[in-house]
Amino acid sequence: MSPDIVLRSSLFALFQFVSTLVFTVIALLAFPFKPLTRYRIISYWARSNVAAARILCGIRYRVIGSEHIPREPCIILSKHQSAWETMAYQVIFPPQVWVLKRELLWVPFFGWGLAMLSPIAIDRGAARRALKQTLDQGRDRLAQGFSIVIFPEGTRILPGLRSKYHPGGAWLALQTGTPVLPVAHNAGELWQRNAFLKRPGLITVSIGAPILPQEMNVDELNQRVEQWIEGEMHRISTHGQPDPDCAQCSDE
């Protein structure tokens, strides 16, 4: 690995550390505000880190299918490869919350700020209770104007691999009658899971047309989401390079 990448990654890590400390204080001070106002304030942490990743590490991104993003809240079912998308989605999509494991809220500083963003933090060891919590809090977040981000594979997956798509997101969409927005991306090719070093390059985020859950059961909806995401992953990955002149793409 080149010294330049080591230096750039080190500078980015320093930026993340300092910005996390600063925005933790901002997040705690924002507590009295309404959830959507609090989100808009705290999400500047993610925006600043996406910008820093571009400036310091050379990680750029483009979006295919941004016209598919609905104005009303939806359920975003996405591929998960790195930490990059958890920040970039706050730039790409309207206000959102995530379904995540509650242990993340226990991480000093980062977890405290995350808790201010109204996530649906579940105990994965208590499946029945987690489902009820996801439904109850999911309805509440949708009513507040938030979309809900769920990673159906449950964890970060290495590029070129896939895991079982869990039906919780499809189930929530059916229970609430909310459209599903499938999303694929190849961020893991530049920003790998738990990797300190970040490689420069272009990330492609591809957004599919909303899928209406009506007249489908959970398995049918979940399978349709999986087929679209995995098909798109093959197209945008290094095994199938995207067209750099795509008219539906926006460079950031």
Looking at residue 246, its pLDDT comes to: 40
Looking at residue 193, its pLDDT comes to: 87
- Classified as helix, coil or strand, 206 is strand
Smallest Cα–Cα separation from 201: which of 226, 225, 237, 165? Answer: 237
Looking at residue 128, its pLDDT comes to: 81
Mean pLDDT in residue range 220-244:
82
- Spatial distance between the Cα atoms of 145 and 115, rounded to a whole number of angstroms: 18
More confident of the two residues 157 and 248 = 157
- pTM given for the model: 0.89
Answer whether residue 62 shows pLDDT above 90: yes
pLDDT in tens, 157-185: 999 999 999 999 999 999 999 999 999 99
- Percent of the chain with pLDDT strictly greater than 70: 94
- Spatial distance between the Cα atoms of 133 and 177, rounded to a whole number of angstroms: 17
CB distance 172 to 131 below 8 Å: no
Looking at residue 1, its pLDDT comes to: 67
Q: Where are the domains of the chain?
A: 3-251
Looking at residue 190, its pLDDT comes to: 96
More confident of the two residues 192 and 77 = 77
**CATH code for residues 3-251:** 3.40.1130
pLDDT in tens, 87-134: 999 999 999 999 988 888 888 888 888 888 889 988 877 778 888 899
pLDDT in tens, 183-196: 999 999 999 988 99
Mean pLDDT estimate for the chain: 91
More confident of the two residues 57 and 215 = 57
- Spatial distance between the Cα atoms of 32 and 86, rounded to a whole number of angstroms: 24
